[in-house]
Structure 1
């Protein structure tokens, strides 16, 4: 198990330097994501692959309602330049407490963007109602809501039960697990969620300065796959990459019994 100390507690005068916490990357696989949901305390939800956002027949395969979307995409030079320009215009998020439009987690665990995508998807909007009482998720959310983003990040880093649940799921993937959790990976996960406060669409990326209100008021009674505005945002992400088509979209839905 990796060290409980992170870059947030780094003291340059200590020898040796305290390492940043890292997890082995989570495979972009709905079965792995669903297993982690189950481990964390939301067994009545599941992730499903979205095979198309344009073909009505393929879209109809996805169970409804869709409560949130998680997108995985290549972190190319094009994306990094776009992100840097966008983030330069934004201030660090200072939201906290029950009045927040969304609950956001700053990513400080290396290679764990899949985990943060899941946490953002399940912690916001109607998905939160599916979390079992006294579960890992319910306790974490209860602890994190009154905290600022730095304290939230530390609570996630220091949670042994979160790390254990993650590791069990991550080892179930079909891809070869990297020997070094600190190894760089070429993909990133973000979530799109509906605010439980104002019904607006938010982009949730723990690697940015905070949640992004996309300025889209979602129609009451429609889910995330019925709203063409939501899929339009996903299309814009894909349009940034003219040659690299290694995108995958997963939908968070009630589990089919």
Structure 2
């Protein structure tokens, strides 16, 4: 991948459900929703602890040495997403802020499916969606870049957590966040990665299934299996708090 040039850089978020929950509430999502760790992909007893329904899953994974090459290849084989307006199958946010992949995963989680029904009117997130949804992807991305309220809310939580945040937001980090959501338009499962040209349609889900379904868990399981090491992966669910 050629060297990217960014106008804006953020401190990367720790993969911590408390931090993600605090941020999503400050952006205007109802306190009835929150994030929770998913501790297993296949243990039914551990999965049973997750309140249902699950509105979205956020996966963080270590970037292998060939991650940039894989992104370039995937983007070369797919046309840039050009969706806009209220009839979009999913709301996609193209990442243009450096080190903010956690934020983009969070925004994908709450901008899609039934989670968006829990956004408070007049909130930061409500206003961003009102401004961004009518726009094409690049102009929509600029809505996020230009939001001082979003930057302030993000900064208020970015240095919290147990890990030491980089002092310089321009420093590279070797982890990346993506999100899985269920379209409220079609019921299809989507992978949302702001580094890619657009959302990836993973196909239909059963009407009664939420995102913590066997279909989605198998996709994640395959991603973990295909990595050289499963160390560094973690998964969070957006669900009832």
Please report the TM-score for the alignment, with normalisation by the length of structure 2: 0.95
Aligned counterpart for 1:224 among listed residues 211, 216, 219: 211
Q: 4+ runs of 1 displaced by more than 6 Å?
A: none
CA distance, structure 1, for counterparts of residue 165 and residue 211 of structure 2: 32
Q: CA deviation at 1:233?
A: 0.7
CA distance, structure 2, for counterparts of residue 242 and residue 177 of structure 1: 26
Indicate the residue corresponding to 2:221 in structure 1: 235
Q: CA deviation at 1:249?
A: 0.5
**For 1:238-257, what aligned pairs fall within 5 Å after superposition?**
238-255=224-241
Higher relative contact order (CA 8 A, sep 6+): 2
CA distance, structure 1, for counterparts of residue 27 and residue 143 of structure 2: 15
Task: Determine whether 1:57 maps to 2:53.
Answer: no
Where in structure 2 are there 5+ consecutive unaligned residues? none
Indicate the residue corresponding to 1:90 in structure 2: 78
CA distance, structure 1, for counterparts of residue 230 and residue 58 of structure 2: 18
Aligned counterpart for 1:33 among listed residues 5, 9, 20: 20
Please report the TM-score for the alignment, with normalisation by the length of structure 1: 0.89
The CA deviation string for residues 56-111 of structure 1, in whole angstroms up to 9 with x for no partner, is 01111111110000000011124334333322210111111111100001100000
**For 1:206-225, what aligned pairs fall within 5 Å after superposition?**
206-215=194-203, 217-225=204-212
89-98 or 242-251: bigger deviation: 242-251
Q: Could you tell me whether the CA contact under 8 Å between 1:78 and 1:240 is conserved in 2?
A: no
The CA deviation string for residues 22-47 of structure 1, in whole angstroms up to 9 with x for no partner, is 00000000000000011101122100
The structure having more radius of gyration, on CA atoms, is 1
Q: Could you tell me whether the CA contact under 8 Å between 1:78 and 1:241 is conserved in 2?
A: no
CA RMSD after TM alignment? 1.4
The CA deviation string for residues 91-147 of structure 1, in whole angstroms up to 9 with x for no partner, is 111111111100001100000000000000000000101111110111101111100
Q: Could you tell me whether the CA contact under 8 Å between 2:53 and 2:240 is conserved in 1?
A: yes
**For 1:104-143, what aligned pairs fall within 5 Å after superposition?**
104-143=92-131
